[in-house]
Amino acid sequence: MAKNKEKKQQKQKTDTAPSRGFSDVLPRDSAVWKEMWRAGNSVAELHGCHAIETPALESVSIFEKIFGKDRRAAEKSWYVFKLPGSREKFALRPTGLFPLVRSYIQHHLGYFASPLKVFFRGSAFSREDDFGICPSGEFRELGFSILGDNDPVYDIETVQSAFSFLKAVKIRKSVLKINTNGCRACKAGYRDKLRSFCAKERPNMCKKCAKAQNPYLFLSCGDEKCATLRQEAPLILNHLCQNCNNHFKTILELLEEEGIVYELDPNLVRDGDAWNRFVFSVHSQQGTLLALGGRFDYVSEALFGRQVPAVGNVIFLDRVADCMKASASGERKEKPKVFFVAIGDHAKKASVRLINLLREGGVIAVEALGKKSLKMQLKTAERMKVPFALLLGQKEAFEGTVIIRDTRTGAQETVVADRMVEVVKKKLKEE
């Protein structure tokens, strides 16, 4: 009987758990996520970026135009479905970066600002992990993009915004890898050379690359066999037209001028026409891919038949959060709080106004007014490790006073309620 009950409980847990690749952001990690959101807003403001948000659900035709109409590949990579009563197919966005172009054209945002600098964040979805590039399932993104100008200075600004964000969340010594993907003409010649090379070397590749139809996956494979083979593979740098060569040369000069340390990665080539010319990736010291970006001038042409210069980056927040938690910087110190304790119905009613005064004064006030006993409320305050507790009993409520107790020493003083915020702020400042 007990076994059956245990099995039933286990089944209920399994049935209600998030699907593989989908996870919760938990309260114990709230300090890390708050810091990332603060950093994102701060960097956006410093770079003059406007906030933008596109729907998580887009017509699948948008991504087919950008990435190609290979139905098998699409179904393998994207979450595609039909809504009830609709013949149109929809997809959960595989990235929040490229839908910015759709929004830019549809809402005539070029009239709003030129170039338009934007900042976005939200979830993206991928059904499989392509050699560690995008996580599988749901992953949280944050990114910066500049649309409407093809000057290489904006390519560099996109790199700087990614580094500014990582610096703001105290992730330092990250590694910048750069390359160029050229234009369509450059890439066409290179793609043929790479395909020929992969066809010839297929027996020497790892099983995954040997089966893959896409030769570009070989360039990012971490298998030792493929890494050795890549030393002999053709390089896109040898297939650049004069314009793309000049563009990349300017990028290198600007990076040198800005003192930005980088590694040239000739194998950093992305499939399809979505990415062109300058591309980059940012890795942690342990090798985790934290951000990627580059120029995607052809996306607007694929969607609307006219080219709009665009460059941007995507920062993978879940990976950044893991790095923050794993490092010393993951131990976030939140602003000190005070815990408000009310004993008795009259005190409880009076506490609502006083707690609001604290919050209006910029003091983080937490409480557990649902717990009636003094002991239970103080126990909660102790568990939260707040430096000060404010006690309001029936006597204090009638007298218009509040007791401020130091939770570490037990020392306490009674102050007039009107001076409560002033005294509390002074004490917190001394912490």
pTM assigned to the model: 0.80
| pLDDT in 10s for each residue of the chain, 431 residues | 555 555 555 555 555 555 666 777 788 888 888 889 999 999 999 888 999 999 988 888 888 888 775 555 555 677 888 878 778 888 888 888 999 999 999 999 988 988 899 999 999 888 765 545 667 778 899 999 999 998 899 999 999 999 999 999 888 888 999 999 888 888 888 888 888 888 888 888 888 887 777 777 778 777 888 888 888 888 888 888 999 999 999 999 999 988 889 999 888 888 777 888 999 999 988 888 999 999 999 898 888 888 899 999 999 999 999 888 887 544 555 666 888 888 887 888 888 888 888 888 888 887 877 666 777 777 777 777 788 888 888 888 888 888 888 888 888 889 888 888 888 888 888 76
How many H-runs (helices) and E-runs (strands) does the chain carry?
17, 16
pLDDT at 142: 93
19-183+241-329 in CATH: which number? 3.30.930.10
Measured N-to-C along each axis, helices 317-326 and 30-46 cross at an angle, to the nearest 10 degrees, of: 120
Residue 48, number of CB atoms within 10 A of its CB = 11
Torsion of CA 88, 93, 96, 97, to 10 degrees: -70
The Cα 408–Cα 63 span in angstroms is: 58
Q: Residue 290 has what pLDDT?
A: 93
Ramachandran sector of residue 192 (left: φ over 0; alpha: ψ -120 to 50; beta: rest)? alpha
DSSP reduced 3-state for 40? helix
How crowded is the C-beta side of 172, counted as CA atoms within 13 Å? 3
What DSSP string describes 348-378? HHHHHHHHHHHHHTT-EEEE-TT--SHHHHH
Tally of CB atoms within 10 A around 29: 16
* Strand ranges in 105-160 using DSSP code E only, listed in sequence order: 116-126, 137-147
Q: Quick one: which of 353, 326, 372 has its CA closest to 418?
A: 353
DSSP secondary structure letters along 375-413: HHHHHHHHHHT-SEEEEE-HHHHHHTEEEEEETTT--EE
What confidence score (pLDDT) does residue 330 get? 43
Q: Which are the contacts of 418, defined by CB distance < 8 A and separation ≥ 6?
A: 400
The CA distance from 423 to 64, in Å, is 62
Distance CA 359, CA 369 (A): 16
Q: Domain locations in the chain?
A: 19-183+241-329, 337-429
Q: Which residues, 6 or more positions from 315, have their beta carbon under 8 angstroms from its beta carbon?
A: 141, 142, 143, 162, 165, 166, 290, 291
Enter the DSSP assignment of 19: P
Task: Give the CATH number of domain 337-429; options: 3.30.70.240, 3.90.1150.10, 3.40.50.800, 3.40.50.300.
Answer: 3.40.50.800
